[in-house]
Amino acid sequence: MAGPLVALSAIMAPSIQFLGAAGTVTGSKFLFRTETQKILVDCGLFQGVKELRLQNWEKLPIEASAIDAVILTHAHLDHTGYLPLLVRNGFKGKIYCTAPTRELSKIILNDSAHIQEEDAEYANRLGFSKHSPAMPLYTTSDVAHTLKLFISVAGDKWVKIAKDVKFRLSPSGHILGSAFVELNHSGMRVVFSGDLGRKKPLMLNPPTRLTTADYLVIESTYGDRVHSPESPMNVLKRVINETVARKGHLIIPSFAVGRVQDVLYLISKLKRQKLIPNIPVYLDSPMGIHATEVLLDYPEWHKLGAKEIEAFCQDAIMVRSYQDSNGLARARKSTIVVAGSGMLTGGRVLHHLETRLSDSRNTILLVGFQAAGTRGRLLRDGIPELKMYGKYVPVKARIEELSSLSAHADQSEIIEWLRGFRSAPKTTFIVHGEPQAADALRVRIRDSLNWFAEVPAHLEVKELNLKTQDE
Ligand SMILES: [Zn+2]
């Protein structure tokens, strides 16, 4: 009799399965299973090199229809971008998140579907896809179905979603509406960090200090690095003044949600303090414009007053149409153009680069993480010619980097946040980092905190011990 009973109890132990962001930074998907519930924390898209993007087409090890609910940490595509496919494949549960995450997800998912549709259409027109016809991963109509399942919940309040499972979202300081997810299952506390913000974010409130976790899943994007201490405002001031002195243009490729707003805010401050000349600043990103407007709707989720937001929006010219965007690329007098995408994988920034990259008076300022295989990474690594629109453009413009303007905690900031926990979790699982960054963080956690931490592999299942620390 002992055999079957042991097997039965093994099946019933709660567990986490790592369906993405294990050994890599993108594709965040963590499946939390109890005896009765299957809850997915985040549902992100894999991004970056082709080998990773192909994983988006692979079948999940669980039927979408068997998942009871999804809880989101924040709106970025690598945390939400798989949702429309999950819904198309039969998921019918609720998608819980904060109110700003719901608003921003609407913008990000629709943009993602448009890009998928355009890419498939382009491949079919030129006939270069191996699949005939090439299909988008999902469409805008899949996104419309997905958005109907979203439920926004208040921050810092426990929400019961099953007889023995409740969750709480509290601000994590990464982007507008970003939150930690705390799950409580029969007294056992499991914490998911999502993306952990800086100790002192530019616009947002600092990350909430959490104190209790039986198990912790922590990100490690910068797990092996410490951000430069130089002030982003000083770097921007220097780069802008040097570019204007050369009578050049400054192009800032930027992520539409988070980074665009930080950059515009700093430029506006520099202008108002007369630390830079009063040259025109353009925001050439419809998604960036939309995301900036969302800031105004959620004053409780950031530190800026309505007047400050209005001020930095007034200091930038919003470029909505393609015609205006094209005209801007031909402007003669010095301009600053902030445009997507942040890693130069597509978007309007490309036609600005096409005209500006070959002129040594101009500057391209990279302001975020540049994944391997992207044009942003190639420029950062000093490539002499960059391929775009099927031709090579010589790189004569100056390439500069503003690494101190990151939305992710660095190694020291992660450790400092972990010190807020009253006692060590039974296990700390390290995710959302390249292998080297994740392992460096594991060693630092062991050496500085004396905690047990491990880096789970893709698709690995980890059983959780239901006995809590208090017992
Ligand atoms: Zn993020």
Question: Cα of 44 to ligand 1 centre, how many Å?
Answer: 10
Question: Cα of 92 to ligand 1 centre, how many Å?
Answer: 25
Question: Cα of 178 to ligand 1 centre, how many Å?
Answer: 8
Rounded to two decimals, the pTM is 0.91
CATH fold for domain 13-225+407-463:
Metallo-beta-lactamase; Chain A (3.60.15)
Question: Would you place residue 467 in the very low, low, confident or very high pLDDT band (cuts 50, 70, 90)?
Answer: low
Question: Cα of 407 to ligand 1 centre, how many Å?
Answer: 8
Residue 413, pLDDT score: 97
Residue/partner pairs of 182-188 with CB below 8 Å, 24 or more apart? 182/210, 182/213, 183/32, 183/39, 183/41, 183/71, 184/158, 185/14, 185/32, 185/34, 185/37, 185/466, 186/34, 186/466, 187/468, 187/470, 188/14, 188/214, 188/215, 188/464, 188/466, 188/468
Q: Is the pLDDT of residue 1 over 50?
A: no
Question: Cα of 109 to ligand 1 centre, how many Å?
Answer: 14
**C-alpha pair distances (Å), 428 with each of 34, 112, 190, 424, 443:** 19, 32, 10, 9, 12
Question: Cα of 359 to ligand 1 centre, how many Å?
Answer: 33
Question: Cα of 17 to ligand 1 centre, how many Å?
Answer: 20
Question: Cα of 190 to ligand 1 centre, how many Å?
Answer: 20
Question: Cα of 321 to ligand 1 centre, how many Å?
Answer: 28
Question: Cα of 385 to ligand 1 centre, how many Å?
Answer: 30
Q: Are 153 and 96 in contact (CB under 8 A)?
A: yes
The number of beta carbons lying within 10 Å of the beta carbon of residue 419 is 10
Q: Is the pLDDT of residue 133 over 70?
A: yes
Question: Cα of 83 to ligand 1 centre, how many Å?
Answer: 16
**C-alpha pair distances (Å), 11 with each of 162, 223, 308, 412:** 19, 34, 54, 38
Mean pLDDT value of segment 356-375: 91
Mean pLDDT value of segment 96-115: 96
Residue 471, pLDDT score: 43
**Does the fold of domain 232-401 match that of domain 13-225+407-463?**
no
Hey, which of 4-18, 87-101, 316-330 has the most confident mean pLDDT?
87-101
Residue type, 383: I
For residue 406, what are its two tokens? 């990151």
Q: According to DSSP H, which parts of 228-342 are helical?
A: 232-245, 259-272, 286-297, 306-314, 322-328
Q: Is the pLDDT of residue 299 over 70?
A: yes
The number of beta carbons lying within 10 Å of the beta carbon of residue 355 is 17
Question: Would you place residue 345 in the very low, low, confident or very high pLDDT band (cuts 50, 70, 90)?
Answer: confident
Question: Cα of 288 to ligand 1 centre, how many Å?
Answer: 15
Question: Cα of 219 to ligand 1 centre, how many Å?
Answer: 10
- Tell me the sheet residues that pair with 215: 190, 427
Q: How far apart are CA 51 and CA 47, in angstroms?
A: 9
Question: Cα of 462 to ligand 1 centre, how many Å?
Answer: 24
The pair phi, psi for residue 155, each rounded to 5°, is -75, 155
Residue 57: alpha-carbon gap to chain centroid: 20
The number of beta carbons lying within 10 Å of the beta carbon of residue 183 is 24
Q: How far apart are CA 251 and CA 352, in angstroms?
A: 7
Mean pLDDT value of segment 326-353: 92
Question: Would you place residue 347 in the very low, low, confident or very high pLDDT band (cuts 50, 70, 90)?
Answer: confident
Q: How far apart are CA 226 and CA 360, in angstroms?
A: 31
Per residue in 50-64, pLDDT (tens digit) is 888 889 999 999 999
Residue type, 330: R
Residue 243, pLDDT score: 98
Question: Cα of 202 to ligand 1 centre, how many Å?
Answer: 15
Question: Cα of 465 to ligand 1 centre, how many Å?
Answer: 29
- Candidate from 104-113, 129-138, 272-281, 427-436 with smallest mean pLDDT: 129-138
Mean pLDDT value of segment 156-160: 97
How is the chain split into domains, by residue range? 13-225+407-463, 232-401
Question: Cα of 101 to ligand 1 centre, how many Å?
Answer: 11
Q: How far apart are CA 471 and CA 136, in angstroms?
A: 51
Question: Would you place residue 129 in the very low, low, confident or very high pLDDT band (cuts 50, 70, 90)?
Answer: low
Residue 9, pLDDT score: 47
Collect all residues with Cβ–Cβ distance below 8 Å to 412 and sequence separation of at least 6: 226
Question: Would you place residue 128 in the very low, low, confident or very high pLDDT band (cuts 50, 70, 90)?
Answer: low
Question: Cα of 396 to ligand 1 centre, how many Å?
Answer: 32
Exposed/middle/buried for residue 117 (C-beta within 10 Å: 0-12, 13-18, 19+): middle
Question: Cα of 277 to ligand 1 centre, how many Å?
Answer: 33
User: Which DSSP symbol is given to 142?
Assistant: H
- Tell me the sheet residues that pair with 349: none
Q: Is the pLDDT of residue 3 over 70?
A: no
Mean pLDDT value of segment 165-192: 97
Q: Pick from 206, 198, 208, 282: which is nearest to 232 by CA?
A: 198
Per residue in 239-261, pLDDT (tens digit) is 999 999 999 999 999 988 989 99
Question: Cα of 43 to ligand 1 centre, how many Å?
Answer: 12
Q: Is the pLDDT of residue 30 over 60?
A: yes
Question: Cα of 80 to ligand 1 centre, how many Å?
Answer: 10
Collect all residues with Cβ–Cβ distance below 8 Å to 362 and sequence separation of at least 6: 243, 246, 248, 249, 250, 251, 356, 397, 398
Mean pLDDT value of segment 446-469: 90
Q: Which helix (H) or strand (E) holds 449?
A: helix 435-449
Question: Cα of 70 to ligand 1 centre, how many Å?
Answer: 17
Residues in the chain: 471
- Determine the straight-line distance between the first and last CA of the chain, rounded to whole angstroms: 29
The pair phi, psi for residue 168, each rounded to 5°, is -140, 140
Mean pLDDT value of segment 123-147: 84
Question: Cα of 293 to ligand 1 centre, how many Å?
Answer: 19
Q: Is the pLDDT of residue 281 over 90?
A: yes
Q: According to DSSP H, which parts of 13-160 are helical?
A: 50-53, 77-80, 83-88, 99-126, 140-147
Percent of the chain whose pLDDT exceeds 90: 78
Question: Cα of 74 to ligand 1 centre, how many Å?
Answer: 7
In words, the CATH class of domain 232-401 is: alpha beta
Question: Cα of 326 to ligand 1 centre, how many Å?
Answer: 30
Q: What average pLDDT does the structure give for the chain?
A: 92
Per residue in 411-421, pLDDT (tens digit) is 999 999 999 99
Collect all residues with Cβ–Cβ distance below 8 Å to 11 and sequence separation of at least 6: none
Question: Cα of 334 to ligand 1 centre, how many Å?
Answer: 32
